[in-house]
Amino acid sequence: MTLRPAVWLPLAILPVMLLIFEPTGLDFYLQDIVWDPTGGGHWVIDAHAEWPRLLFYRIPRWIVMGAGVSAVLVWLAGFRIESCRCWRRRSLFVALSIALVPGAVGALKASTNVHCPTQLTRYGGDEPYDGIAARLFHPVETATRGRCFPAGHASGGFALLALGWIAETRRFRLVGWSFGLLAGTVLGAYQMAKGVHFMSHTLATMLLAIAITAGLATVIWPNRLAVPNMDA
C-alpha cells in the first residue's frame, strides 16, 4: 500500500500555514474586513439572521447528513441487491468520509482550546487571542474553554471531497474534488462572516479533510492510484 502525497502533504502544510497566518496577523487582517467596529461593533452577517442561517447552515447540514445516510443505505443494499453490489465499496467510502472528517475535526475542537473571533477582546468579547501558533510563543490564560479550531461547520462541506475519489474518470474526479472544496469554502466563509472562525481555522479543516479522505481511499483501494472501476 503506497501512501499518497495527498495524505502526508496536507499534514506537512498545516503547521506551516498556521505559522504564517497567526504570528503575522494575516488572520486578523482578513477578519477585520468582515468586522465593523462602529456602533458597538457588528459582523457582516448577523449570527441570528434567519435566511443566511437557513441557506448556509441548516440546509447544508441536512444535505450532508442525507448524503451520509443514503451512502449507508446503498452499502447495505449492496449485500442483497445485485445492481447495488458494484457501488458497495464506494458507498462505504462516502459514508466513512462523512463520518470521519467531521468526527476528527470535532475531536480536535474539543481539545485545542482556541476561541472564536467573536469571543476575543479585539472584536468585543472577553478573551485574549489564543491561536495555536500564539500558544507556542506567548501562552495566555483564558477564563473559558474555546472550541473553535479547526472549523467544524466547514468540515461537512469538505467531507464531500469523497465524491472526487469515487469517480471513474479524471474529469469527474476533478469535478467531485472541486465541489467538495467549494462546499467547504462557502460554509467556512459564512462562519467567518459572522465571526465564528478565522481563515486559518477553515484552511486547517480543508487540509485535514484532504488527508483523511485520501488516507481512507488508500485503505479501501490500496492497489489503485486513482479510484475503482465497477468492482465491489
Residue type, 201: H
- For every residue of 157-172, DSSP letters joined together read HHGGGHHHHH-SSHHH
Q: What pLDDT does residue 3 have? A: 61
What pLDDT score does 135 carry?
A: 65
SS3 of residue 157 by DSSP: helix
- Residue 222 has a pLDDT of 83
Q: Is 23 exposed, middle or buried (0-12, 13-18, 19+ CB in 10 A)?
A: middle
Q: How far is CA 76 from the centre of its chain?
A: 27
Q: How far is C-alpha 48 from the geometric centre of its chain's CA atoms? A: 22
Q: In a 3-state reduction of DSSP, which class is residue 36?
A: strand
Q: What is the pLDDT of residue 80?
A: 86
Whether residue 8 contacts residue 15, with contact meaning beta carbons closer than 8 Å, is answered with: no
Per-residue pLDDT of the chain (232 residues; tens, 9 = 90+): 556 788 999 999 999 999 899 888 999 999 999 999 998 899 999 999 999 999 999 999 999 999 999 999 999 999 988 888 889 999 999 999 999 999 999 999 998 889 999 999 999 999 988 777 666 666 677 778 889 999 999 999 999 999 999 998 899 999 999 999 999 999 999 999 999 999 999 999 999 999 999 999 999 988 765 444 434 4
Contact 104, 212 (CB under 8 A): yes
